[in-house]
Chains A and B, each alone.
Chain A
Amino acid sequence: MMALHGIDIAVCLWCLLVLAWLGFRFPGRAGGGFEDWLLAGRKLPWGLLGLSMVATSFASDTPLAVTGLVGKGGIAGNWLWWSLLAGTTMTACLFAAPWRRSRLVSDVEFAALRYGGNPGGCLRGFRALYMSLFFSGIILAWVLKAMGVVLVVLLDLDPRWNDAVLYGLVALALAYTLASGLWGVVATDLVQLVLASFGAVALAVLASAEAGGQEGLRARLVDGLPAGPAGGFDPFSFLPDLGGQGLCEGAGLLLLFQLSMQWWAVVFPGNEPGGGSYLAQRMLAARSPKDARRGITLYVLLHYALRPWPWIFVGLWAAGRYALPEDQVEKGYVFAMRDLLPPGLLGLALAGFLAAFLSTVDTHLNLAAGYLVNDLYKPLLARRAGPRHLLRAARLALLLVAAVALWFARSVTSVAGAWKILIALGAGTGLVLLLRWFWWRINAWSEIAAMTASFACAFVLEPGLRAFVLGREGAEAWSAWSGLPASPIPGEGARLFAIFGASTLVWLGVTLMTPAVPLARLRAFYERVRPSGLWAPVFDGKRPPEPAADLRSALVDWALTTFLAFCLLFGVGKLCFGDPLAATVLLLAALLAGFLLWGNAGAASAPRSSAPRRRPRRGSESS
């Protein structure tokens, strides 16, 4: 039976109507040319950037995923993604400004600016295809699947009608992205974020009221989560439970990898070390390097520290209330919506879910079309094309991307399997993506070797990846041919260490055996981006121009921002879960870190503004 009332449907439709109106209000701004459409004319202020990134990363599957993590591992289950926090703060403090100074149109174009030549061109083309069709296809398939789960529970429609609603939503996102480009995307993102966040908070408040507050929830979960591992554990603990194992075995080794290396060594879709995909697009669209940096910092604080707590609370409530089997735990969030929200609020919460879905779909459509045009069509077929020509091409590419993504969503049976390919390609490549900004010797072959080695290692070590690529029979034939056991290195943590180690050895060897990028290109890169690090050899013994930022100061900023974000994360958590003393201490520590950060920013900028600095040549600044 449908859980929605007439008023819910009316509220939901009204919200969609307002969003559609807003989405179509920017065609004039996007119509100036390709860059205006893809990067909003590089005029986005930091607040809008940060909020837009938070909205994009809030997809329809995100509350469900957090509910699943909490249902299986308690609050500490979130360390799976909290461990990436330091990587994102690193992007904010060390890479956001260089990205903006690079004045690239897409992150994939970095290969052309930094490496050039045929290897750089091939890398750029491969990445463009991979990011625009495969990566976007998987993301869209993933969010379509999650949205389908929500609609099935709340609308209870015939599957064909369910699909029709989903495709109608994709068509809406497609239409306003076509018309308004990134301006439309970020403006709708802001409203979508407010709607989606309020829905989450309302659900958490009602869950708390239903459970009888903090104590009631604790009483329900006192014996450990029903869906958790046998033996029980404290679901309210913020620290992971290793089940009696040490840090060098089993779950401990995986946790060690997550905490110590995952955030800089592994490329996760949407969590590229140093920034990539939609994060890089937003940094490139900032109105200044400072806005890029502040925007990412705002994103880190909201995304990691504030937003997850309502979901976590609802996840705990659902785990205690429904006792779902392990593969169904994620649905607890939608059941909570259905059972807790009264008419009117349910419609608003659903509108929030639809908004979260739209904000993810519109961003990835816009981004993917940008890759296809800027990094494939333009360098191969339309080198001299003007901005309006490229804009028309981008709008056509958007239709192509949407068609491919929908086909992908329908025909790929295992989205999780396709996800494994994404992770396998990036499991050992994080370091090379970081060092390419700091070490002149990195070349295009370094990145190509890192990706190839990472995929090859993952293929040998991960039985799930082999089964997806070769099929079950092919995987069995492979095992018989190679003589290797199905899983040569048991344990995910040990496997990840092995993939990283082997890939790093391969790309380092390849880098030293292949010629360096021509010095003229490296000098051009340096003069445009002015990064810190090892660049002196590029200038043949002459003194290179000063880097734009002091590396030591940026590292202090990074440490302080990370400390601030973790204190805020746990401080807000302690406040939500009834520990005011710990919350006060943590929030005061966060405040102190904020003051120190402010002071360090002032100290870092003061010498640069007062010291006489060589003016860059006019030609290099505007080339």
Chain B
Amino acid sequence: MFKSRHPLRPLAWAFLALVPAPLAGLPLAGGEVAARLEKGFALALFLCALAAFLLTREGKTADPGAEDGGRAEEGRGPEKGPGSDGGGE
């Protein structure tokens, strides 16, 4: 689950790294509502991280079923995609 070459895998780590940020303010939270908000936010970030880990696990690629000739994800050359010059001058 933690090793993946999916392009968006760094997102999962970023969300996980942010979990301590709301918890850092907890000792000074200043009231029950604020403390619940801090905990709620930490939980939300953790769930975001979990979702991102699951969505970017090995086997899930960023471009399944591209409708118009999408290219392979890795090892592509510098050439353009089909029709990418947009019919310009």
Residues of A that sit less than 8 Å from B by CB: 5, 7-8, 10-11, 14-15, 18-19, 21-22, 25-26, 29, 32-33, 35, 41-45, 48, 100-105, 109, 112-113, 116, 120-121, 183, 187, 190-191, 194-195, 198, 202, 205-206, 209, 287-290, 341-345, 347-348, 351, 378-379, 386-388, 524-525, 528, 621-623
Q: CA A10 – CA B78 in complex, angstroms?
A: 43
Q: Is the CB of A43 within 8 A of B73?
A: yes
Given contact pairs A112-B88, A347-B25, A528-B87, A386 touches B33 in the complex (Cβ within 8 A): no
- Report the bound CA distance from A121 to B87 in whole Å: 12
B31 at the interface (CB under 8 A from A): yes
Q: Which listed residue, A109, A183, A194, touches B15 by the CB 8 Å rule?
A: A194
Does residue B59 face the partner (Cβ distance < 8 Å to A)? no
Are A342 and B28 in contact, CB atoms less than 8 angstroms apart?
yes
Q: How far is the CA of A120 from the CA of B15 in the complex (A)?
A: 46
CB pair A187 B10 closer than 8 Å: yes
| Interface contact B29-A622, CB-CB below 8 Å | no
Checking B41, B78, B85, B87 against A388 with a beta-carbon cut-off of 8 angstroms, the contacting residue is B78
Pairwise interchain contact B89-A18, C-beta atoms closer than 8 A: no
Contact B86 A103 (CB under 8 A): yes
The 4 A-B pairs at the shortest CB distance, nearest first, are namely A344-B25, A342-B30, A288-B67, A25-B10
Chain B residue with minimal CB distance to A120? B89
Measured between alpha carbons, how far is A26 from B18 in the docked complex, in Å? 19
Contacts of A116 in B (CB 8 A): 89
Q: What separation, in Å, do the CA atoms of A393 and B26 have in the docked complex? A: 47
Residues in A whose Cβ lies below 8 Å from that of B78: 32-33, 386-388
Interface of A (DSSP majority class): helix
A48 and B69 CA atoms in complex are apart in Å by 20
A41 adjacent to B71 (CB under 8 Å): yes
Residues of chain B within 8 A (CB-CB) of A525 are 87
Complex: chain B residue closest to A201, CB-CB: B37
CB of B87 within 8 A of CB of A205, answer no
Neighbour of B28 across the interface among A19, A187, A344, CB < 8 A: A344
Complex CA–CA separation, A620 to B15 (angstroms): 44
Q: Are A342 and B25 in contact (CB under 8 A)?
A: yes
Which residues of A are found within 8 Å of B15, using beta-carbon distances?
191, 194
Say whether, besides A18-B18, A25-B10, A105-B84, A112 and B89 are in contact (CB < 8 Å). yes
Cα A48 to Cα B63 with chains together (Å): 12
Is B54 in the interface zone, CB < 8 Å from A? no
Q: Say whether B21 contacts A345, CB under 8 Å.
A: no
Of A10, A121, A194, chain B has the most CB atoms within 10 Å of the CB of: A194
**Known A190-B11, A194-B48, A205-B37; 14 more pairs at CB < 8 Å:** A7-B24, A22-B14, A29-B7, A102-B86, A103-B68, A103-B86, A113-B87, A195-B18, A288-B68, A342-B31, A343-B25, A345-B25, A387-B80, A622-B69
Considering the complex, give the chain B residue whose CB is closest to the CB of A45. B62
User: Are A18 and B37 CB-contacts (below 8 A) given A112-B86, A112-B88, A525-B87?
Assistant: no
Indicate the member of B15, B48, B71, B78 with the most A CB atoms within 10 Å.
B78
- Given A43-B62, A342-B31, verify A183-B25 contact (CB < 8 Å): no
Residue of A nearest to B29 (CB): A342
A33 to B38, CA, bound (A): 42
Assembly CA distance A345 to B71 (angstroms): 44
CB–CB A344/B29 < 8 A? yes
| B76 partner, pick from A32, A102, A120, A622, beta carbons under 8 A | A32
Q: A138 to chain B: closest CB distance in Å?
A: 26
Q: B9 → chain A, closest Cβ, in Å? A: 9
B41 adjacent to A35 (CB under 8 Å): no
Q: How far is the CA of A44 from the CA of B73 in the complex (A)?
A: 12
Name the distance in Å between B45's Cβ and chain A's nearest Cβ. 7
What is the CA–CA distance of A132 and B48 in the complex, to the nearest angstrom? 35
Min distance, Cβ A293 to any Cβ of chain B, angstroms: 11
Chain B residue, CB-CB nearest to A11: B21
Once the chains bind, are B88 and A351 in contact (CB under 8 Å)?
no
